[in-house]
């Protein structure tokens, strides 16, 4: 019998916005250093799927993972993707305050005349590492475009020290320079996202590669242990030496 902790269902949102003729920018946060999971790391907004997310699906449709991704993005950054009509700043702040007060998300949406925007969130990946960590997550990743005219993100201070927009290549450069760090799944997803020149291209790639659960494994390659993921599922880098994967 495995002694691994049970995987916690979770959802993450890769929120994208167009930037002129350049590649799209992504919204990332830097977690505080006292978090039990990925302390101090750059991550996309997200978190565990809770019972209220399932209750919200009963009234608004969609699935609990999509709802969790939207809810967590509102809580962590003050941005509200995937809703129709697009809420104004006052409505978003009211949603955020209500969630902080543990009001049901469905009640908050109804109070502001909001619904889920069908098709706004595109399934991108699913990761469920089996390494022996304090917490282990089975995480759905979604892509979505930021609402037009969305304000700058504002952090939830107990979870993050900053939130910012940057291209995948720019974020990877920060990681390579040692100015930030990220866990293995985040780095692999950034490498995949760095290949897209537009949001439309990213969405098309997500639809071209059916989502499969990615569970990395360790094997010896060239005399050194590597952390590996399968080939042919959209990722340009499918292995990394265990030594660096642990350190970064």
Axis-axis angle for helices 64-77, 51-60 (nearest 10):
110
Sole residue written with tokens 């104004």: 88
| Structure tokens belonging to residue 58 | 């009963």
pLDDT of res. 34: 57
Would you say how long the chain is, in residues?
A: 248
Lowest mean pLDDT among 110-114, 178-182, 188-192: 178-182
Question: What pTM did the predictor assign?
Answer: 0.93
pLDDT band at 134 (very low <50, low <70, confident <90, very high): low
Ramachandran area for residue 202 (φ above 0: left; ψ -120 to 50: alpha; else beta): alpha
Domain annotation for the chain: domains and CATH numbers: 8-215 (3.90.79.10)
Asked if residue 143 has pLDDT above 70, the reply is: yes
- Exposed/middle/buried for residue 42 (C-beta within 10 Å: 0-12, 13-18, 19+): buried
Lowest mean pLDDT among 101-105, 126-130, 140-144: 126-130
- Exposed/middle/buried for residue 205 (C-beta within 10 Å: 0-12, 13-18, 19+): middle
Asked if residue 78 has pLDDT above 90, the reply is: yes
Cα 243 to its chain centre, rounded Å, is 25
Q: What value does the mean pLDDT take over residues 97-119?
A: 96
Asked if residue 1 has pLDDT above 50, the reply is: no
- Give the end-to-end CA distance of the chain in Å, rounded to a whole number: 30
pLDDT of res. 19: 87
**DSSP codes of every residue in 196-220:** -SSHHHHHHHHHHS---EE--EEEE
pLDDT of res. 37: 57
d(CA 245, CA 248): 6
| Max intra-chain CA distance, the chain | 60
φ, ψ of residue 47 in degrees (nearest 5): 175, -170
Mean pLDDT of the chain: 91
d(CA 143, CA 212): 16
pLDDT tens digits for range 230-239: 999 999 999 9
pLDDT of res. 245: 81
């Amino acid at each position: 019998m495995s002694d691994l902790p049970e995987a916690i269902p979770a959802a993450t949102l890769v929120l994208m916005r167009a930037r002129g003729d350049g590649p799209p920018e992504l919204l990332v946060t830097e977690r505080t250093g006292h978090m039990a999971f990925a302390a101090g790391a750059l991550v996309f907004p997200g978190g565990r799927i809770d019972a209220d997310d399932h209750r919200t699906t009963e009234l608004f449709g969609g699935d609990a993972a999509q709802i969790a991704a939207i809810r967590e993005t509102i809580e962590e950054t003050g941005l509200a993707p995937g809703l129709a009509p697009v809420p104004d700043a006052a409505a978003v702040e009211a949603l955020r305050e209500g969630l902080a007060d543990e009001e049901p998300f469905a009640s908050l949406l109804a109070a502001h005349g909001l619904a889920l925007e069908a098709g706004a969130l595109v399934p991108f990946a699913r990761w469920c590492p089996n390494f022996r960590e304090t917490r282990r997550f089975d995480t759905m990743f979604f892509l979505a475009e930021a609402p037009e005219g969305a304000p700058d993100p504002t952090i939830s201070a107990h979870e993050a020290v900053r939130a910012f927009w940057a291209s995948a290549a720019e974020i990877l450069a920060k990681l390579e320079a040692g100015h930030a760090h990220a866990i293995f799944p985040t780095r692999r997803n950034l490498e995949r996202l760095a290949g897209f020149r537009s949001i439309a291209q990213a969405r098309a790639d997500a639809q071209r590669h059916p989502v499969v659960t990615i569970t990395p494994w360790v094997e010896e390659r060239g005399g050194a242990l590597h952390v590996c993921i399968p080939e042919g599922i959209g990722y340009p880098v499918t292995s990394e030496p265990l030594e660096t994967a642990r350190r970064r």
